[in-house]
Amino acid sequence: MTDAIPPRNDDSHYARIASQLLDLRKQRLQFFNRQLFGEYGWELLLALMASPGHTTDAQRASEVLGVSPATALAQARLLVTYELATMSDSTGSWSEIPITLTEQAAAQMRACLDIPQFAKPDD
């Protein structure tokens, strides 16, 4: 069993890991049908973790997930239901609705992303 990596105080480390995981997940779509991978909630959590301030908007969520805006908002609402994210009202269109990772969810993501394979020697 591999020793756990000590927690870090700098979220840039976790943002880098989340971005790498999103990139790897996108890469697999070159070889397999997206319908094989129904993990939109997880992808949205990764996207939020990788976003500055752990916040994105509904338009960007839709683009990251590669789904319709309605599906992206449904996934965001599911995260809100489980208290993993918050959504605020927007004075503009649906695409501007901010989606933000809760502090508790960010802590859970940090713990989840403490993956030895992603640790750099200078971390």
What is the identity of the amino acid at 106? A
Would 30 be classed as within a structural domain?
A: yes
Would 6 be classed as within a structural domain?
A: no
More confident residue, 36 or 99: 99
Question: How many whole angstroms separate alpha carbon 95 and alpha carbon 29?
Answer: 25
Question: How many whole angstroms separate alpha carbon 107 and alpha carbon 44?
Answer: 16
Q: pLDDT digits over 7-61, tens only?
A: 556 788 888 888 888 888 777 767 766 665 668 888 899 999 999 999 999 999 9
Q: What is the CATH number of the domain that holds 53?
A: 1.10.10.10
Output DSSP code: residue 4: P
pLDDT at 123: 47
Angle at 85 between CA 62 and CA 33, to 5 degrees: 35
The rounded mean pLDDT for the chain is 81
Would 103 be classed as within a structural domain?
A: yes
For the chain, the domain total comes to: 1
Is residue 80 very low, low, confident or very high in pLDDT (cuts 50, 70, 90)?
very high
pLDDT at position 4 over 80: no
Would 3 be classed as within a structural domain?
A: no
Would 123 be classed as within a structural domain?
A: no
Domain span at residue 41 reads 11-118
